[in-house]
Structure 1
Amino acid sequence: MPTEIQMLAWAIVLGIVQLLLAAVAMTRQRGLKWNASARDGQPAPLTGVAARLDRAMRNFLETFPFFAAAALAVAVTDSTSAASVLGAQLYFWARLAYVPLYAFGVPYLRSLVWAVSLWGILQLLWALC
């Protein structure tokens, strides 16, 4: 199995973990009753770690489709190269590092790590050219 597809699988796992972390933090803040309800109306905005975990998950969802499409395209076209493997690994490891950086509110470094994940996607795209 190509490394790009392995990293795609791990990125899916990471997305599920982020979803669960954000849901647990949201439930802690808003309560189990709210979580089990139909969630009608406007809840109070999330704050602190719960809000940051929610934003980190949403940020993941903004980049993941591009990564998934690029990784699949590389695998389907048999365009795997050292650059595409590195790109897939950069994306995954940067996204993994991004979660605690965002959760703990670390500025600048978080943005740098995000840029590394974007660079990983670009590496995959360049492999297709």
Structure 2
Amino acid sequence: MDIFPTELGILTCLGLLAASLWIPYIAGAASANLPADAPDGFTRIANPLLHKPWVQRAYRAHLNLLEQLVPFALLVLLVDRVNGFSALTYWTAIAFFWLRVAHAVGYITGWAGFPIRPIIFTLGWVCCLLMGYAVFAARLA
């Protein structure tokens, strides 16, 4: 029986988070006041900047997660490919997951303004760098 590494489990959870983070945006967009001549219930305000502030933040939180998830996922899969999982990758994956949860919740609710939100995002970037380091370290070992 193969052991499923924690890093791949975290990657699965991040994928589920990214697949679900559209829900707050759509819930907020659906509650927007549409013009009386809107053709159907699926009409959305085209410009996200015309939504309520929390709906705009939900839109950006989803995009920000996708911006960091793609490189992080690629790096985790490369670490898996080179058999480079270690204590570093274990804790980096866990930290990245909770940073992304904190970023999304903080962004949507508005409690993580400047400088908290940029710091969280930057720490996520550092996690990507650490995973990249793990790829090279495994290849050199």
TM-score scaled to structure 2, two decimals?
0.80
Please name the residue that 1:83 is paired with: 88
Mapped partners of 1:96, 1:74: distance in 2: 23
Bigger Rg over Cα: 2
Deviations 1:18-72 (A, max 9, x none): 11222112211255966524x6x94572231100000110111111110110011
Please name the residue that 2:101 is paired with: 96
Please name the residue that 1:36 is paired with: 42
Mapped partners of 1:91, 1:33: distance in 2: 42
Count of residues in Structure 1 that have an aligned counterpart in Structure 2: 127
Runs of 4+ in 1 over 4 A off after TM superposition: 30-35, 41-44
Please name the residue that 1:16 is paired with: 19
CA pair 30-11 structure 1, distance change in 2 beyond 3 A: farther
* Unaligned runs of at least 5 residues, structure 1: none
CA RMSD of aligned residues (A): 2.2
CA pair 60-34 structure 1, distance change in 2 beyond 3 A: farther
SS at match of 1:111: helix
TM-score scaled to structure 1, two decimals?
0.86
User: Percent sequence identity over matched residues?
Assistant: 22
CA pair 128-30 structure 1, distance change in 2 beyond 3 A: farther
